[in-house]
Amino acid sequence: MKKKHRMTETEQQGAVFLAKADQLLSAAEQAQDGTSVYENCRAAVHNLLLAYLVAHGESEPAGADLTSAHLWEKCVARNPEIRALVPNVRLFLNDSGFVTTEEEVETMLDAANELWDFIFALIYG
């Protein structure tokens, strides 16, 4: 008989961030306007970065340490392999939410989903 693995508090916290990122990506895919797509993708990426850090033993940052840019720096410091995502992450590190064309919407969605795939694989792969 196989023993059930009980999730640690850290694993549970990481799973919460992943679930939130999943919700936000789903909302982005359903959004009717570019700004909503951008904002949902941006928030999803933020949660993905948090999930990665928490899954690797970091405590959940607070205050000024909670910016996506700071989270990204911590992720890169922890695992330089994650630098492969720089072009994707750059799309979400600024406050410019101007996404006007269908092509830009697709670019945002593709970038956020690639980040999901990569980070999910780093956590569970």
CA distance 11 to 104: 34
pLDDT at residue 10 in the model: 72
Q: What would the pLDDT profile of 52-86 be if each residue is shown by its tens digit?
A: 999 988 887 776 568 899 999 999 999 999 999 99
> Residue 23's closest CA among 2, 44, 42?
44
Q: Residue 67 carries which DSSP code?
A: S
Architecture, CATH, for domain 11-124? Up-down Bundle (1.20)
Q: Are 25 and 8 in contact (CB under 8 A)?
A: no
Greatest alpha-carbon span in the chain: 55
CA distance 82 to 122: 9
How confident is residue 2, by pLDDT bands cut at 50, 70 and 90?
A: low
CA distance 21 to 116: 8
Q: What would the pLDDT profile of 72-124 be if each residue is shown by its tens digit?
A: 999 999 999 999 999 999 999 876 667 778 999 999 999 999 999 999 998 88
pLDDT at residue 40 in the model: 96
Q: Are 21 and 88 in contact (CB under 8 A)?
A: no
How confident is residue 3, by pLDDT bands cut at 50, 70 and 90?
A: low
Q: What would the pLDDT profile of 27-51 be if each residue is shown by its tens digit?
A: 999 998 999 999 999 999 999 999 9
Q: Which two tokens stand for residue 31?
A: 């959004």
User: What angle is formed at CA 90 by the lines to CA 86 and CA 96, rounded to 5 degrees?
Assistant: 175
